[in-house]
Amino acid sequence: MLPFLLLAATLATGFEPPPYNPGDVNGQNGWGHLSNSPTGGVIEPVPAGSPPAFGVQSLAIRTRNVDFFGVASHLYSPTISPAAGETGSTAGGVVVPDPESHVSASFWFRTPDSPLISTRGDGRFAELNPSSKGSAPDDAANRYAQVRLANTTNTADGRVRVEMGWYRSSGFTLATVALLDWGQWYRFEYVLELVDGLDGTEPNDRFTLTIFDANGTQLGSACGSTWELGWKSGTFGGGATPRAVNGFDFWSLSGPNGNLAGHLDEWTMSTFSAAPLAVTIDGSATVPMNGVTTLRADATGGSGTIRAYEWRDAQSNVVGTSATFDAPVGTYSVMVTDSLCRSATSAEFSVANAEMEAVPTVSEIGLGVIAVALIALALLRLQ
């Protein structure tokens, strides 16, 4: 998922025995919830028809306390160290020293077997959120970015809409990532970059979610941001500091108790730091007459995954959209966009005709022949 990056830390599990035992996941290997949590997790047999690679167990996300549908205290994952965050970011009220700048996560999620009619009017029934959690036993996990699942019509005819939400200065923003079917496994891939400060009055964190089906086909992707504006303004309480991301929290938002929001398997999470995205052009600056040379975009830094290339000529016409470009004589630049939707553009690169050896003209050839003949005639007269 993240080639050529040095990961600072990684957590991974498939919920298999051992060390996971069937039943309540609370207290198993760092997974848990608080006593009043509206969401719990249960280690259950994998649903029938699941890929063999998923083994024999998965984690079911289920409602456990319909009387306390709050905004905290949901099912949480183990926490990772080092966490990722801005300079001075906190987890559980404690400043995290030397946080990493990026988070990546990947897991398989199976939607409920049949359309879930939510007890909420908007059809929402689950959240799968990157979060921040302190180390004290009674510390709740607090979402720092949001991924919401909803029944599109909240009827038996609806599909599963996956959307991400974040705060801008103008208010709350939503972006749809993909529409999914019921009773199917999907792979969710997250990448977050947590950046010091703000972009004026706007968030400057980046968050991308991409979803694939069981065949590896990409179904959708969206770029957004985190909830940094809410935390930095003190809107969410606990001071006006950014939070460090060190885990996930999983929400079941619809009753009754025991209601299934979905199954989770093959969960991984990593933190790392990376240089800013940059790109240069590699290749030969000369071509033979009427020929081409293959230029290559060499991208470094950023998220580690390039999602788009755009080659332009000196007139700003788009002439290529892949990692390489067969260039005739001309001047070119390339812009790359990584999986966090950040872009970088190369310096211009010029391609010219290679110098060719001089070829004698017809008149030059004729004068040479005459000169040889005159020399031969002179030699005859000397005999």
Domain ranges of the chain: 7-272, 278-353
pLDDT of residue 2: 45
What are φ and ψ of residue 347, in 5° steps?
A: -70, 160
pLDDT of residue 6: 67
| Amino acid occupying residue 288 | P
Nearest to 51 by CA among 108, 124, 103, 3: 108
> What torsion do the CA atoms of 111, 117, 121, 122 make, to the nearest 10 degrees?
20
pLDDT of residue 245: 98
Q: Which fold has domain 7-272?
A: Jelly Rolls (2.60.120)
Token look-up 């997974």 returns 31
pLDDT of residue 360: 52
pLDDT of residue 381: 57
pLDDT in tens, the chain (383 residues): 444 456 889 999 999 999 999 999 999 999 999 988 999 999 999 999 999 999 999 999 999 998 877 666 799 999 999 999 999 999 999 999 999 999 999 999 999 999 999 999 999 999 999 999 999 888 989 999 999 999 999 999 999 999 999 999 999 999 999 999 999 999 999 999 999 999 999 999 999 999 999 999 999 999 999 999 999 988 887 778 999 999 999 999 999 999 999 999 999 999 999 999 999 999 999 999 889 999 999 999 998 899 999 999 999 999 999 999 999 999 999 999 999 999 999 999 999 999 754 445 545 545 554 555 555 555 555 55
Q: Measured between alpha carbons, how far is 278 from 298 in angstroms, rounded to an integer?
A: 8
pLDDT of residue 341: 92
Token pair listed for 18:
């051992």
The CATH code of domain 278-353 reads 2.60.40.10
pLDDT of residue 1: 42
Token look-up 């998965």 returns 58
Q: Measured between alpha carbons, how far is 169 from 247 in angstroms, rounded to an integer?
A: 26
Nearest to 8 by CA among 271, 248, 191: 271
Q: Measured between alpha carbons, how far is 195 from 368 in angstroms, rounded to an integer?
A: 74
DSSP assigned state of 25: -
pLDDT of residue 236: 84
pLDDT of residue 62: 97
Please give the model's pTM, rounded to 2 decimal places: 0.86
How many Cα atoms occupy the beta-carbon half-sphere of 144 within 13 Å?
A: 32
Q: Which residues pair with 290 in a beta bridge?
A: none
Answer whether 105's CB lies under 8 Å from 190's CB. Answer: yes
